[in-house]
Structure 1
Amino acid sequence: MSLGETLAIVDIGSNSVRLVVYEMLSRSPAQVFNEKEMAGLGRQVATTGRLADDAMAKALDALVRFRILCEAMHVGNIRVIATAAARDAANGPDFIVRAEKAIGQPIELISGDREAYLSALGVISGFEAPHGVVGDLGGGSLELASVDGDRVGEGVSMPIGGLALIDRSKGSLKQAEKIVRDSLDHLPQVAAMRGRDFYAVGGTWRALATLHQRQSGYPLSVMHGYTVPANDVAEFAKLVERADSAVLESIEAVSSARRPLLAYGALVLDLLIKRGRPRAVVVSASGVREGLLHEQLPDEERRVDPLLQGAQDYNQLRARDPRHAADLIGWVERLVTSSGLYEDAATRRLQDVACLLSDIGWRAHPDYRGEQSLNVIAHAAFSGVDHPGRAFLALTVFHRYAGAKGDTPMAAGLRRLLTPRLLEKSQLLASAFRVAYLLSAGMPDILPRISLTCVDRRLVLRFPEDLKALSSDRVSGRLKQLARLLGREPEIRGG
């Protein structure tokens, strides 16, 4: 298919049937539309061996609706997959025939091994060089596969998804625990978790993470990349296992269809942590669907940095002149290099991304540009960035507009996620941006002609003769603020 063509993925899972429409196939695909129906196809498969009539009817109605929506959106390419419930049920083949008629497309019934592979590939697409084990918990099954950079290890699939556990255990958590323990015995994928990250994929685990964020007062509501030490997750999972979901704080943040699955999802996660002993649990919003997209990309496109690609897309859509960002990247790099400040590759990457995002708020009212940029960047659908990195980017652009003394409750919360070194770097970059935009008005071809470098103990701003008039009291004031952060004396030179 063409990289520029609108595409959709319809995922017929054991718990939900979901439609996601993407603007195009790319390294950082933007979602145009996302809708689901909690059909519960896998509700009785483990004990009856069949898909329930009412669940099938719900799923088929959803597929007809999704077909109409795709036609209305002129979707150029539709991929439809079905997972555990449809592959395990005796009447699964009959359902697939009816489902293909409802959606108007062929359906790929994927195996457990392929589901594990695609989930792992989805994590690779959503994180920068992930290392650990991916676990995808659905309604019917749990898939595990190791990841190492861009490589996927052997996967395994087990029938211990939330709906399957409720069905097989007859609603007994004690019996469900025995089923899970037996299923996890002697698995190399569980042993591979030790000391590494465990990437948690699936709606039930995202719902648990939502509860954890709310109850811990976490300053971000973004799920993707939410990272918690494994011991903390295990303690929280035990709390959820024991508690009545109706009395858990912030339970309204979880859909009513997910609530009965919380205790079973917590049980599986708890036992995985006990057996595997990972370093941390990392929540991934990328899974099978994103893996399908990543699989279709050419090799050179797979190697593109998804965070840089996403920031370039924002710059192209929202900056006054997207060409200015390239000037700013070079201008800031020369300043930082001349300052002698230590710069690792990860921080340099964030620096470049901050430059790309630095002008996305200009259309807002001047009094709210900082606050709007903070909110947009903190919650943008970026991949390839952890939460401290996301906070760094949001705060840098916020202070570029609001100044060093600007503050909001959200900004104060995000600062908790940064190390002192990253916070200092964010403040320095924001201060440099404030000088740059006063000189260039966000237009290209000006900054390359004006140098800002550290020379001995001075911070020197040098203008060519024809641009000397750009110097002003406001420029001088902002230069002093930047010089103070760098521990230098400001100096302006012309000619």
Structure 2
Amino acid sequence: MAGSRARKSAASVAVIDIGSNSVRLVVYEGMTRSLSPIFNEKTLCGLGREVQTTGLLASDAVEKALASLRRFRALCKVMKVGRVYAIATAACRDASNGPEFIAKAERLCGAQIEILSGPREARLSALGVISGVYKPDGIVGDLGGGSLELIDVRGSRVGSGLTLPLGGLALQDTSQKSLKRAERIVKAELTGVTQLTAGRGRTFYAVGGTWRALARIHIIQSGYPLRIMHGYSISAVEALDFVARLRRLAAADMLADIETVADARRPLLTYAALVLEYILRIAKPRTIVFSTYGVREGLLYEKLSAEQRSQDGLITTARTLNQLRSRSPRHAEDLIGWSDRLIKVAKVRETEEERRLRHAACLLSDIGWRAHPDHRGEQTMSLITNGHFGAISHQGRIFLALAIYYRYAGLNVENEAPEAVRALVTPHMLERARVLGAIFRVAYLVSAAQPGLLPATHFRSQGRKLQLIFEPKAADLVADRVNNRFKQLARLIGRSGSIVRK
């Protein structure tokens, strides 16, 4: 019931994004730190395909975009969206007929459209990455159809942004579809850019639909077990090799065989690969991280209060899922405190990030209870590994999924999680996931997922012995199964375990 009330109290919000290549509507459940998209539709219109050479938005693209905006307004009305924000990017700000198009578009979509300047578009892209990546440190590059925005980000601090006419459609237009000419343009535009020279040894955050398409191709070709674009990470060395292979495919006219990418995006892949290649050669980052959080999410993040922006995106999302799916949301909060006390008493070493992931796991630990008992482990693993989370790496996703998988499936070898999934985390993370699963198996057997019971137990350490002590009001909950599970947990952390009634 608490989850139902939470959904009703948060008015939905929509963003209409009029880009140089696509026009998109995204409706979010509410204006919160934890954005949950409930509807997402795009039309590949190609508004910017001729702007660089003619200075105009193509007439057929304009008609297609206006038809989409008419539909978007009707959809927002049907969905009873609380607030609609609308933005337009490079094509509309650069085209001489942009103001005329915007005037018609505003009448059709029923909202004022903010035409983003290049620096503002860069800033919103950076804010999107800040909202969706935990403590980012590197260069954000947002590649659209008309432009490339570059901006430095460190934690919550954003540098000055730069915009360059290197979007896929813009490059295709100015180069007259000559890849050699496009390469000369890219090299000239990117050489000496200070926003790139500061990227050495850091992370490059790739934002934008065409770069996401590159990530999708890489995921499939490499056999990577997760089909999640956000947070997908590859080394700069591997990325350079990949974009070089894509360019060879383009030279052999073999990109048409790539079925995982929309037909309208396919011709732009080569230009996206070309831009990424030169960014990697100039900036020399250590890692590429693909982000599905960009301008739209940055726009909404900017409108939150300072207190909301300071919240941890992962913990906020986990807390929301706890409210919506757990038997007792309060019990998960008890579990955080209970596991905190165990870690302290048992003197288990834990980094700040490990503590953060443990707290998130506590909040997610009961979200699979409605599934059939024989399948709760695998169902919850799928839900977490494929969930719409920000502020977590792929390794972090797998860690959370494994911890809760072990909570349901048990710790026996025959119940082991799939090797392809386990291979994505380090042996240390795998061992910690087992420990956390064992903690949950004790806690839920003690409390039956009811609040107020875990605080009636506490821990005591005597040398290598670890005790779970039951206060008088909880003494009747002691049982052989609880004792056996606690001994199993104690062994995992190098102790012997016993239960004491006080």
**8 A Cα contact 1:338 1:455, kept in partner:** no
**8 A Cα contact 2:140 2:151, kept in partner:** yes
Report the secondary structure of 1:355's partner residue: helix
The residue that corresponds to 2:478 in the other structure is 471
Report the secondary structure of 2:263's partner residue: coil
Looking at structure 1, the residues matched to 501 and 248 of structure 2 have their Cα atoms a distance apart, in angstroms, of: 71
Q: Does 1:492 align with 2:499?
A: yes
Report the secondary structure of 1:269's partner residue: helix
Q: Does 1:218 align with 2:224?
A: yes
The residue that corresponds to 1:194 in the other structure is 200
**8 A Cα contact 2:458 2:468, kept in partner:** yes
The residue that corresponds to 2:261 in the other structure is 254
Q: Which amino acid aligns with 1:425?
A: R
Percent pairwise identity = 53
**8 A Cα contact 1:219 1:410, kept in partner:** no
Q: Which amino acid aligns with 1:429?
A: L
What's the CA shift for 1:274?
0.5
What's the CA shift for 1:272?
0.5
The residue that corresponds to 2:395 in the other structure is 388
**Count of residue correspondences:** 493
What's the CA shift for 1:423?
1.3
Looking at structure 2, the residues matched to 42 and 22 of structure 1 have their Cα atoms a distance apart, in angstroms, of: 27
* Match 1:416 to one of 401, 420, 423: 423
Report the secondary structure of 2:160's partner residue: strand
The residue that corresponds to 1:293 in the other structure is 300
The residue that corresponds to 2:157 in the other structure is 151
Report the secondary structure of 1:8's partner residue: strand
What's the CA shift for 1:483?
2.0
Evaluate the alpha carbon distance shift between residue 466 and residue 120 of structure 1 in structure 2; reply closer, same or farther with a 3 A threshold: closer
Looking at structure 2, the residues matched to 213 and 406 of structure 1 have their Cα atoms a distance apart, in angstroms, of: 29
Looking at structure 2, the residues matched to 479 and 493 of structure 1 have their Cα atoms a distance apart, in angstroms, of: 11
Looking at structure 1, the residues matched to 253 and 395 of structure 2 have their Cα atoms a distance apart, in angstroms, of: 32
Report the secondary structure of 1:362's partner residue: coil
Residues 247-396 of structure 1 mapped to structure 2, 5 A cutoff: 247=254, 251-396=258-403
What's the CA shift for 1:215?
1.2
Q: Which amino acid aligns with 2:52?
A: A
**8 A Cα contact 2:88 2:116, kept in partner:** yes
What's the CA shift for 1:241?
1.1
* Match 1:235 to one of 234, 238, 241: 241
Looking at structure 2, the residues matched to 69 and 315 of structure 1 have their Cα atoms a distance apart, in angstroms, of: 30
The residue that corresponds to 1:75 in the other structure is 81
What's the CA shift for 1:125?
1.2
C-alpha deviations, 1:348-393, integer Å up to 9, x for none? 1111111000000001111111111101111111111111111111
Evaluate the alpha carbon distance shift between residue 246 and residue 410 of structure 1 in structure 2; reply closer, same or farther with a 3 A threshold: farther
Q: Which amino acid aligns with 1:192?
A: A
Please, what is the CA RMSD of the aligned residues? Answer: 1.7
The residue that corresponds to 1:133 in the other structure is 139
Q: Which amino acid aligns with 1:242?
A: R
What's the CA shift for 1:50?
1.1
C-alpha deviations, 1:316-338, integer Å up to 9, x for none? 00000100011111111111111
What's the CA shift for 1:48?
1.7
Looking at structure 2, the residues matched to 293 and 273 of structure 1 have their Cα atoms a distance apart, in angstroms, of: 30
Bigger drift between 307-316 and 448-457 goes to 448-457
When normalised by structure 1's length, the TM-score is 0.96
* Match 2:444 to one of 437, 451, 459: 437
Looking at structure 2, the residues matched to 451 and 412 of structure 1 have their Cα atoms a distance apart, in angstroms, of: 36
Evaluate the alpha carbon distance shift between residue 278 and residue 408 of structure 1 in structure 2; reply closer, same or farther with a 3 A threshold: farther
The residue that corresponds to 1:108 in the other structure is 114
Looking at structure 2, the residues matched to 239 and 221 of structure 1 have their Cα atoms a distance apart, in angstroms, of: 21
When normalised by structure 2's length, the TM-score is 0.95
Q: Which amino acid aligns with 2:471?
A: P
Gaps of 5+ in 1: none
Q: Which amino acid aligns with 2:366?
A: D
